[in-house]
Amino acid sequence: MSFSSLGLSEQLVRATSDQGYDTPSPIQLQAIPAVLSGRDVMAAAQTGTGKTAGFTLPLLQRLADNPRNGKGPRALILTPTRELAAQVHDSVNLYSKYVPTKAAVVFGGVKINPQMMKLRKGVDVLVATPGRLMDLYQQNAVRFNEVEILVLDEADRMLDMGFIRDIRKILALLPAKRQNLLFSATFSNEIRGLAEGLLDNPVQVEVAARNTSAESIVQSVYPVDQSQKTALLSKLVRDNGWEQVLVFTRTKHGANRLTQKLEKDGITAAAIHGNKSQGARTRALADFKAGEVRVLVATDIAARGLDIKQLPQVVNFELPNVPEDYVHRIGRTGRAGESGHALSLVSADEGKMLAGIERLIKKQLPRKEIEGFEPKNNLPLKPKAKADPSKARNRRPQGGAGKSFGPKPAGRSGGRGRGGQGEGQGRGQGQGRSGRPAQRQSA
Ligand code: AMP
């Protein structure tokens, strides 16, 4: 299967081959024809599946097939974070290289005036975080009367981050006749409710998450007392000679503290989270990618959407509160068919979280104690048998396509990194506009 056989124009196919892609990913195989047909689409797919091209390519084709002269935007793509918005915007620019489409991106945390000026010049595709988009609308800097296609990208995260009210306001302002595409990694009842009101007889697209609890990722649990975690991490980095490891903490403070301790210990480290200025975040990621920083310490939301090519090692310094986040975290390693390692430092107080994760991924992770770091407080060995269905969010159904995109195109490994160009973000990470604190990040 090739991109041209999916019905994409020569200009768009050329743009994908410039990126070194010749085989459409499973989500692209399903989504591209569905979007081209003009129907609404509901897609279960997470970052790393190639979903961005899956909606961007056919969207560009539909706009190009039917040129208009207005000021736009004709397509509106909403994303939860500034990083993701910037990445999607980059993708739109790459794929629209040979078509006349103009794209722009707007998000909070940076000056609004340049964004207003950009919009005034006219734009076909607008990528936006919901909060800043509403601000721009309220200041008459953008109108929605020409919107033909709406994309909600990572809809589950947008709801988690408290954007539902902004989204509903925006939906109410859009022309009734339009094409709607909804992408989400998970399908909770809340997402289903949103989809029901939004989508008209949608084509449903589903692919297995690459790497979910996957064969390509070697996962293990290192039981250790909380107080010993930093020392153990330092030891692991040194003993294994890890040169590039992504470490997750639950909180922003935790990320800062760990970074300082590692640095004190002579291991180069940088933190990336919502309290950091955009400049600091961009720098940290660039340094990490360039190999100047060995350890990048991130919180869940900050790490969302980061696509660092072929990251060999991910460490959970603390387990996430939400079991699905574990799957997102470990999905950062072993990307694009490479094998990866995900290792979790788990203290006794995290036993419950571990059980929740093992229930979700339907397997028990192997425990491995490290000499000199044996915990005083032991972890329960077996996950608890009984699940609490009221607490588990609905997980995207399994099944369908494979975990790699097919033969690995030559251009990929040396290709552009992603996520380094992020600039500013909608709201602070902890809070949505509604004032409801996001559940995921406590500090
Ligand atoms: P996404 O899931 O959209 O965040 O994309 C994940 C990564 O896969 C990005 O680095 C894309 O550039 C890359 N990618 C997208 N489509 C393909 C493809 N057909 N073949 C190989 N890589 C791809």
Residues 229-253 pLDDT 10s: 999 999 999 999 999 999 999 998 9
CB atoms within 10 A of CB 265: 15
For residues 209 and 167, which has the higher predicted lDDT (pLDDT)? 167
pLDDT band at 275 (very low <50, low <70, confident <90, very high): confident
pLDDT band at 285 (very low <50, low <70, confident <90, very high): confident
Determine contact, residues 82/129, Cβ cutoff 8 Å: yes
Helical (H) or strand (E) element with 118: helix 113-120
Mean of the per-residue pLDDT values for the chain? 83
For residues 279 and 195, which has the higher predicted lDDT (pLDDT)? 195
Determine contact, residues 50/137, Cβ cutoff 8 Å: no
Q: Is 279 helix (H, G, I), strand (E, B) or coil?
A: helix
Closest residue to atom 6 of ligand 1, CA basis? 48
Mean pLDDT of 294-313: 77
Q: What are phi and psi of 339, to 5 degrees?
A: -90, 155
pLDDT band at 421 (very low <50, low <70, confident <90, very high): very low
Buried b (16+ CB within 10 A) or exposed e, 234-256: bebbeeeebebbbbbbbbbebbb
Q: Is the CB of 346 under 6 A from ligand 1?
A: no
Task: Choose the residue to mutate in 1, 17, 412 for probing ligand 1, maximizing ligand atoms within 8 Å of C-beta.
Answer: 412
Determine contact, residues 315/236, Cβ cutoff 8 Å: yes
Determine contact, residues 304/273, Cβ cutoff 8 Å: no
The pLDDT score that the predictor gives to residue 415 is 33
The pLDDT score that the predictor gives to residue 422 is 32
pLDDT band at 327 (very low <50, low <70, confident <90, very high): confident
- The whole-angstrom separation of Cα 299 and Cα 419 is 15
Pick the CATH number of 4-206 from 3.10.20.30, 3.40.190.10, 3.40.50.2300, 3.40.50.300: 3.40.50.300
For residues 261 and 325, which has the higher predicted lDDT (pLDDT)? 261
pLDDT higher than 90, residue 66: yes
Which of 268-272, 285-289, 407-411 shows the highest mean pLDDT? 268-272
The pLDDT score that the predictor gives to residue 48 is 74
Mean pLDDT of 317-340: 79
C-alpha radius of gyration, the chain, whole number? 21
pLDDT band at 383 (very low <50, low <70, confident <90, very high): very low
Q: How many CA atoms lie within 13 A of 236 on its CB side?
A: 27
Mean pLDDT of 345-352: 94
Would you say the CATH fold of 217-361 matches that of 4-206? yes
Condensed to tens digits (0 to 9), the pLDDT of residues 351-377 reads 999 999 998 888 889 999 999 999 988
Mean pLDDT of 46-65: 92
The pLDDT score that the predictor gives to residue 264 is 96
Q: From the CA of 10, how far away is ligand 1's center (Å)?
A: 19
Closest residue to atom 5 of ligand 1, CA basis? 50
- The whole-angstrom separation of Cα 427 and Cα 88 is 18
Query: What is the three-state SS of 356-390?
Result: HHHHHHCCCCCECCCCCCCCCCCCCCCCCCCCCCC
| CA distances, 181 to each of 150, 198, 388, 423 (Å) | 6, 9, 32, 25
Name the least confident of 111-115, 196-200, 256-260, 321-325: 321-325
The pLDDT score that the predictor gives to residue 336 is 54
Tokens of 424: 């500013």
Q: Among 170, 208, 220, which Cα is nearest to 369's?
A: 220
Q: Is the CB of 47 under 6 A from ligand 1?
A: yes
Residue with the two structure tokens 């090739």: 2
Max Cα-Cα span within the chain: 70
CATH number of 217-361: 3.40.50.300
pLDDT higher than 70, residue 429: no
Buried b (16+ CB within 10 A) or exposed e, 389-427: eeeebebbeeeebebbbbeebeebeeeeebbbbbbbbbb
**Domain ranges for the chain:** 4-206, 217-361
Q: Among 396, 394, 401, which Cα is nearest to 185's?
A: 396
Mean pLDDT of 53-62: 97
pLDDT band at 128 (very low <50, low <70, confident <90, very high): very high
pLDDT band at 382 (very low <50, low <70, confident <90, very high): low
pLDDT higher than 90, residue 99: yes
pLDDT band at 329 (very low <50, low <70, confident <90, very high): confident
Question: H helices within 295-343, ranges in order?
Answer: 300-303, 323-330
Name the least confident of 191-195, 261-265, 270-274, 352-356: 270-274
Mean pLDDT of 138-160: 95
Q: What are phi and psi of 39, to 5 degrees?
A: -80, 160
Please report, rounded to a whole number, the percentage of residues in the chain having pLDDT higher than 90. 58
Instruction: List residues bridging with 78 in a β-sheet.
Output: 128, 152
Q: Any idea how long the chain is?
A: 443
Mean pLDDT of 109-121: 95
Helical (H) or strand (E) element with 93: helix 82-95
280 Cβ contact partners less than 8 Å away, ≥ 6 residues apart: none
pLDDT band at 309 (very low <50, low <70, confident <90, very high): low
Condensed to tens digits (0 to 9), the pLDDT of residues 398-415 reads 333 333 354 433 333 333
> Terminus-to-terminus CA distance in the chain, angstroms?
47
Which atom from ligand 1 is nearest to the alpha carbon of 46? 2
Q: Is the CB of 254 under 6 A from ligand 1?
A: no
Q: Is the CB of 21 under 6 A from ligand 1?
A: yes
- The whole-angstrom separation of Cα 154 and Cα 22 is 25
Q: From the CA of 392, how far away is ligand 1's center (Å)?
A: 29
Crossing angle, helix 51-65 and helix 82-95, to 10 degrees? Answer: 50
Condensed to tens digits (0 to 9), the pLDDT of residues 20-41 reads 888 898 899 999 999 999 999 9
Q: Is the CB of 101 under 6 A from ligand 1?
A: no
- The whole-angstrom separation of Cα 104 and Cα 122 is 9
Determine contact, residues 218/340, Cβ cutoff 8 Å: yes
- The whole-angstrom separation of Cα 134 and Cα 347 is 43
124 Cβ contact partners less than 8 Å away, ≥ 6 residues apart: 63, 72, 73, 74, 75, 101, 102, 103
pLDDT band at 45 (very low <50, low <70, confident <90, very high): confident
pLDDT higher than 80, residue 214: no
